[in-house]
Each structure stands twice: as structure tokens, then as C-alpha cells.
Structure 1
Amino acid sequence: MSETLAWRGPITRWQGDKAVYHLLTITGETAEAITMHERLRRLEFGGRRGFGSVKVIATIGGTHWKTSVFPSKSGEWWLLVGKKVLRAEDLAAGDEAEVLLELL
């Protein structure tokens, strides 16, 4: 059975070496729940996914997509938000977004 979590925060623009990325930084109890899910999954299946990521189905507004959230060294999790989602939901860097994450 999957768990669904909600998070609300600002969309951040990050300039990488080769591209610009938009992401939501997930902290607090929501981040702790994702961390616990990843640890339990690792115990059950005996290994980590690439970069310690967790598969999710993310929903912002009416847009759903299958992706992963990625851990930071400080205990936060990052959700990349693609251009298609930003356009479909009329969002830009600095806008607040509410996301539902179904942990897979």
C-alpha cells in the first residue's frame, strides 16, 4: 500500500552546468516520512535506488507525473518540476506550489 504526503513550498530555480532546473525543497515532517519510507524499502529489498531516490507519483494542480525525489545531505528532499508542469499549472520560480506525493 502506498502513502500519500502533501507539501507546500516555493519553486526554486537552480542553474546547473548544462541546464536550468526548477525544484521544490521538501523539509520537516514530510521529509522525515520520505526518509523513513526509503529506509524501510532498503531493509525490505536490500539495497538503495540510484542516489538514494524514492519513486513517487507527484501531483500539482491537475498535473500528475511519475518521477523520483532525491535526498540532500542535510535531510531535505528535492522534487524536480519540469517545464511541462510549470506551463500546465502557470507556475514560475518563486511561486508557491502544493504537491501531493504518492510514495511508490
Structure 2
Amino acid sequence: MHIEFDSTVFRWDARPETWLFTDVPEELSEDIREVTGPFTRGFGAVRVEATVGGTTWRTSIFPSSSGRYWLPLKRAVREAESLHEGGPVTVRIEVLDA
């Protein structure tokens, strides 16, 4: 499953000093949940290959209390792609757990 979406970079309130994320739109999150069903890992995580700009990496997306998946944006990605809190981001994801 391949998806692409536009979102915003945000800081996780529980760990504001270190963690920046973007969230997968609600409808796409529902599609991912349908496809991955029994393949989720601890905490409902789903393995993905994510691409932002020219940077591709493997990570997991995590379900949030809102029902949307969150994609962590590690520092190397943020620096390489000039991402900052509150800024826009276009993401391509390939779901690996399906």
C-alpha cells in the first residue's frame, strides 16, 4: 500500500524537548488500519518506508488517541529537508506490514 499526503509538523506534548511528528489524515489512517489489521506490532505500530523530499527511511507509524497514525520525524530527516514545527510537509509512505 502506497499513500501520499500533505500535513503539518508538530511537537509531541508528552516529550516536547525531542519529538516531532506529522499525522496521517483520518481517511488514510482508516485505510491503513483496514489493510494491516492483524499485522500491527506493539502499541499498534505499523512498519513503513517513509519519504519526505529526497530522504527515505524505515520507521513505524503509531496510532494516536485521535484515531490518526503519527509518523515520527527524526532529526536527520528534519535537517535534511528543512522541516520545522508548524511547517508543511509532504509525505509518501509505503506500508510494509500488510
- TM normalised by structure 1 equals 0.84
1:28 aligned residue: 26
**Residue 82 in structure 1 maps to residue 74 in structure 2:** yes
Inter-partner Cα distance in structure 2 for 1:32 and 1:59: 20
- 1:3-37 deviation line (CA, Å, top 9, x unaligned): 10011111001243584200001122211111112
Identity of aligned residues (%): 36
Give 1 or 2 for the bigger CA radius of gyration. 1
1:63 matched residue in structure 2: 55
SS in 2 for 1:20: coil
Higher strand share: 1
Is contact 1:6–1:30 with CA below 8 Å preserved after alignment?
Answer: no
Letter in structure 1 aligned against 2:25: T
Superposed CA deviations along residues 36-83 of structure 1, whole A, max 9, x for unmatched, are 1221xx0xx6xx411111100000000000000001133111000000
Q: Which runs of 5+ in 1 are unaligned?
A: none
Match of 2:88 in 1: 96
User: What amino acid does structure 2 have at the position aligned with 1:93?
Assistant: E
Count residues with an aligned counterpart: 96
- Structure 1 residues 87 and 18, CA gap change in structure 2 (3 angstroms): closer
Structure 1 position 94, deviation (Å) = 0.8
Q: What CA distance in whole angstroms lies between the structure 2 residues aligned with 1:5 and 1:14?
A: 23
Runs of 4+ in 1 over 6 A off after TM superposition: none
